Structure 1
Amino acid sequence: MAKLQPQEGTGAWRPAGPGDLQELAGRITALLDAFGRCGADPDGGYTRYLYSGAWQEAQCAVSREMDAAGLSVYYDEAGNLFGRLEGSSAEEGAVLTGSHIDTVRCGGLYDGAAGIAAAVAAIELLHRRCGQPRRTLEAVSLCEEEGSRFPLTFWGSGSIAGRYAPDAPPEAADRSGVTLAEAMKAAGFGPGTHRSARRTDIGAFVELHIEQGAVLEQERLDLGVVLGIVGQRRWTFTLRGEANHAGTTPMRLRRDALAGACEMILEAERQACAYGEAMVATAGSVSAAPGLSNVIAGQAVFTLDVRHPDAETLQSFCDELYGIFEGIAASRELEFAGEQWMNVLPAPMDARLCEAVEAAAKGLGLRSRRMYSGAGHDAQVFSGSFPAAMLFVPSSKGLSHSPEEYTSPEQLARGAAALCNVLYTLAYEEEEKEKGDSQHENVR
């Protein structure tokens, strides 16, 4: 098969020109159209919960497209779907690329699915242009990431990395009382049904994903090089004061739990702003009891989500803020309690792979920047087991988890072209370099 020619003056492989970007844009659009026929929700967008009928239809659609791309298709016991392009050498681990097929309720077309489409299109192009790779390439449609049906996340990547085991699934049930194990079995998956989900033969994972934010669009950039995924801490805080009459209780005599919660929330915002742009703190849920317009709140409950890419900074911020909250509660004579129910450490991406992504962007003439992901992704799960990297493409208006999310075919094609370059570096380049060295020796 004909091989792509290096870009003049760089010595690096890249798509030959605008025609390749147009081809990638068309192929990815067709793939997303095929995936988008599955799980269309009457309320708008797409709903593909793990192991649901819509989810099964989507995985079948991905399977057909992988097969059409010339890949060997198989499932694992958890329901992850792979399209494999066998390499000539079994000495190094496979290079895995893709994302998740499940969605939130009424989600968009691009979250997760764009990464799968880009993976299939990239490997298909590489196979046609460059033949068999040295290292095995695999496109993956991960079965679950969002946690929309069951109270757990990253079931797909977690099963591959060993966080979960399909033969001993967590005791989790959906809103209808169906357990994870029951749903898995009903969909045709589980122990003994397909290949083992646990993998120890993966050498690298590269995930293309929409940014789910507005930074790239606002800065008119083509690509984000993800240095890491932020750590997260989540709490539920409960304040107890004294419910009393709203008209007869002087302000100075009140023990208003809701007012205390409001002061804490505003203080969390002030402190996060003082720590710099990388720190975010969000009070996403607030409730008060008894919840009457003419009664001072005797109890208030609110959640707090804090994220930052550096573990020490995250810890320091949370410790300081907790102390401030205790001071506010004491000054208002309120009982105060905090329950932490999430503590996820930051997940740095592999430095060498990040450099490969940057080199790919530069070789293609793409405008890129380094950035951190404020949202969780499968790459963070894989990063604890083998080298992982992410590249972001722009999201229109920063919208995501919404029927309105959108990334243009041209933006997706530029990201897929960069993905091609990275995959070529990982799976082909060393073999090509060895051939070049051998030819050089012969000339001598």
Structure 2
Amino acid sequence: MTTDKTVNSEIAKNVDERLKALSSIGSDPTGGMTRLLYTDSWLQAQKYVKQQMESFGMTTQFDEVGNLFGRIEGTDLPDETIMSGSHIDTVVNGGKLDGQFGVVASLTAAQYLLEKYGQPRRALEVISMAEEEGSRFPMAFWGSKNFVGVANDDEVKDIADAEGNKFVDEMHRQGFDFKPKQTRRDDIKAFVEEHIEQGDILEHEHEQIGIVNNIAGQRRYNITLKGEANHAGTTPLSYRHDAVYGMSKIISKALDRAHEIGDPLVLTFGKVAVKPNTVNVVPGEVLFTMDCRHTDAEFLVNFTQELEEMMKATAKEQGLGIDIDLWMDEAPVPLNDEIVATIEKEAKAEGYKYRIMHSGAGHDSQVIAPFYPTAMIFVPSIDGISHNPAEDTPFEDLVTGVQLLADTLYQLAYK
């Protein structure tokens, strides 16, 4: 394959026009993008992608929940499908690339291949998934979970958004319904998702491409420490059962331990809610969150269990009660070695600066990978910023990413 300037200019034109068009659908008056599942702007965006697919010869269809598929039939192996895509929804006041760049990249790569090489041997399919972010309703990966047949309809039947709009009512309003139970597709031989990195490793290392071989597992906790609220002026330090002091010792010990271990371990303490949360009262209770991620499942479990024991011991030393709620436990997801090797071979052949890396963020690929051979391509994020109107990537890196995706899909669908 070649990446001559004519090819790159064709890809660049389509990427530029499509990103600008999609970014105008659901643009937030305060800047950035807000395009949430089953809103009018969401449906408008899906219809735009559908029109773009059909403009160069793809046959299109929606599934029952709103995932959109564009397909080019294969010649020699029509019962084998190579798929690429990402999600069309955004976070609230998010950026112009998360999700929709992967959709644009996939349909642009498919158009380039069809126009340059004609019909593929294997069917080539692009998916624009209905939802990934979980930003409107308390349900994430609705699109990919339905695609692979693991969505639980009961989880969404009674949920609503912040304005009280029911999930089911909004789904029906846009013309969609629950998927009937059916056999999972057996024709998909590869799935490749392109995405911005949402971190700053590629930028710091002056690399154009990240080839993702693993999506980190996550364990998330709500931790509650209970002490005794008391007068801030009259209660000596030695008499106190200060919940915030106990929290500070736990966080310090945990982060010190994490820094000792280093990459690829990451540990984050985020939300903090203090009671009574007033200036002149010793805090009697505090709830705080912990997010721990690693690419090795056994290590992740062992390390977080080590922290749980440390927390209990620290709470006991401080005379505090403790409740530890593990509310998310997602194992790491290894991606397909053969597809990773194919992407690397193409990147190396074109002289791209790349690295093999893991993803610390979750993606639709982690839902799809247990069922179909899957890999991901990352392009750099400026300053590592994402889920923010400032989210951006140098345009030449976007074009390089799409070209590499096209080269990869050529090897998978045409060879």
Alpha-carbon distance in 1 for matches of 2:357, 2:408: 18
1:146 aligns with 2:146: no
Which runs of structure 1 show a deviation greater than 4 angstroms over 4 or more consecutive aligned residues? 165-170, 195-198
Alpha-carbon shift at residue 157 of structure 1 (Å): 0.6
Count of residue correspondences? 415
Greater percentage in strand: 2
Aligned twin of 2:398: 412
- In structure 2, the partner of 1:98 is 85
Shifted more, 241-250 versus 87-96: the winner is: 87-96
- Aligned partners of 1:170, 1:222: CA distance in 2, in Å? 43
Match of 1:284 among 244, 265, 270: 270
5+ residue gaps, structure 2: none
User: 1:110 aligned to 2:101?
Assistant: no
Kept in 2: contact 1:26–1:409 (CA 8 A): no
Instruction: For residue 169 of structure 1, report the CA deviation from its aligned partner.
Output: 4.9
* 1:434 match: none
Match of 1:87 in 2: 74
Instruction: Point out the more displaced range, 135-144 or 63-72.
Output: 63-72
Aligned to 1:61: 48
2:65 corresponds to 1:78: yes
Which whole-Å deviations, capped at 9, do the CAs of 1:169-210 have from their partners, x for residues lacking one? Answer: 5543222333322211111011489x9795333221100000
* 1:354 equivalent in alignment to 2:340: yes
Equivalent of 1:125, from 112, 122, 126? 112
Spell out, residue by residue over 1:49-84, the C-alpha distance to the aligned partner (whole angstroms, 9 max, x if none).
Answer: 100011011111111111112211211111011111
Q: Can you list the C-alpha shifts for 1:240-288, whole angstroms capped at 9, x where unaligned? A: 1111111111111111001111111122211211121211111110111
5+ residue gaps, structure 1:
1-12, 430-444
Note if contact 2:220-2:291 (Cα within 8 Å) is conserved in structure 1: yes
Q: Is the 8 A contact 2:275 2:285 kept in 1?
A: yes
Residue of structure 2 equivalent to 1:34: 21
Counterpart residue number, 1:242: 228
Q: In structure 2, what is the Cα distance between the partners aligned to 1:196 and 1:365?
A: 44
Question: Which residue number in structure 1 is paired with residue 258 of structure 2?
Answer: 272
CA contact (8 A) 2:146 2:179 kept: no
Q: Deviations over 1:345-379 (max 9, x none)?
A: 10110000100110111111101001110100000
CA deviation string 1:139-167 (max 9, x = no partner): 11110000001111100010011111669
Q: Is the 8 A contact 1:209 1:391 kept in 2?
A: yes
Matches within 5 A, 1:162-181: 162-164=149-151, 169-181=156-168
Asked if the contact 2:78/2:121 (under 8 Å) is kept, the reply is: no
TM-score (norm 1): 0.90
